[in-house]
Amino acid sequence: MQKIILLICGLIFAFSITAKETIRGHYQVVGNIPATHSVKKVVFEEFMNFGCPHCNNLHKASKNFRKKFADKVEFVDIPIVFRGQDDSPLRLFYVAQKIGKGDLIKNEIFKASFTHGVNVFDPGITNYLARSLGLHKTFQKEKNQEWVNRLIKEGERKAAVYGVSGTPTVVIQYALKMDIGPYGNMAGFVKKIPETLADLLQ
């Protein structure tokens, strides 16, 4: 029995090594790695914090990349908070996303935080942003609904499952967790990530 278990472990390890050799990029394996050239549309989960300057930098650096790969990649933004931060900007983001204005609000929250130096985790600021962008009534109606609470909790759950300890963190196809550090900077990441996508896409 022990020999069988060791054999299985060896096969899993060998598969992981093979996958790492054939799928380019800097990543940590956190799930089942798909076979090369087997994915029709790659899932790209980006964990971000609206007070994180590196997340803001990736947001700006990846705009053209997201447009270019929109038909091949499903981009999933997962905003999270750190200890002591209010989740009001997450609520505004999800409400806006529901009505097709997620990208607008994401951009405006980052702009408020890093262009204007505003504390976007202040609920008063979040309310001001919603009002100034014409979302006040919708935001007030929806922000505490169960579907919003569920999305926030799901983001927390995924962050725990993947072992996300900082932002930005990208997880490709539920399996490859990437930090930006090994790529040097945001531009380096955006330049090299297409290689990983190419190895996964059909």
DSSP H/E element including 143: none
pLDDT above 90 for 21:
no
Query: 102-132, pLDDT tens digit by residue?
Result: 999 999 999 999 999 999 999 999 999 999 9
Average pLDDT over residues 140-146: 98
**C-alpha–C-alpha distance, residues 65 and 75, integer Å:** 11
Range of the domain at 126: 24-200
Number of domains comprising the chain: 1
Q: What CATH number has the domain bearing residue 118?
A: 3.40.30.10
Which pLDDT band holds residue 14 (cuts at 50, 70, 90)? Answer: very low
- Rounded to the nearest angstrom, the gap between the alpha carbon of residue 143 and the centroid of all alpha carbons in its chain is 21
**Any domain includes 156:** yes
pLDDT tens for each residue of 44-54: 999 999 999 99
- Residue 53, domain member (yes or no): yes
> In this predicted structure, what is the pLDDT of residue 4?
52
29: CB partners within 8 A, 6+ apart: 16, 19, 20, 175, 176, 177
**Considering the chain, what percentage of its residues have pLDDT values greater than 70?**
90
- Angstrom distance (rounded) from CA 57 to CA 185: 9
How are the residues of the chain apportioned to helix, strand and coil, as percentages rounded to the nearest 5?
Answer: 55, 15, 30
Task: Work out the pLDDT band at 62, boundaries 50, 70, 90.
Answer: very high
Evaluate whether residue 14 is within a structural domain. no
Residue 56 lies in a domain: yes
Q: 89 near 121, Cβ under 8 Å?
A: yes
**156-171 average pLDDT score:** 98
Q: How far apart are CA 73 and CA 168, in angstroms?
A: 18
**How many CB atoms within 10 Å of residue 1?**
5
- The reported pLDDT for the residue numbered 196 is 98
- Enumerate the β-bridge partners of residue 77: 46
1 falls within a domain: no
**pLDDT confidence bin for 12, thresholds 50/70/90:** very low
Pairing type for strands 42-48 and 169-172 reads antiparallel
31: Cβ contacts below 8 Å, ≥ 6 apart: 162, 171, 173, 174, 175, 176
Residue 12 lies in a domain: no
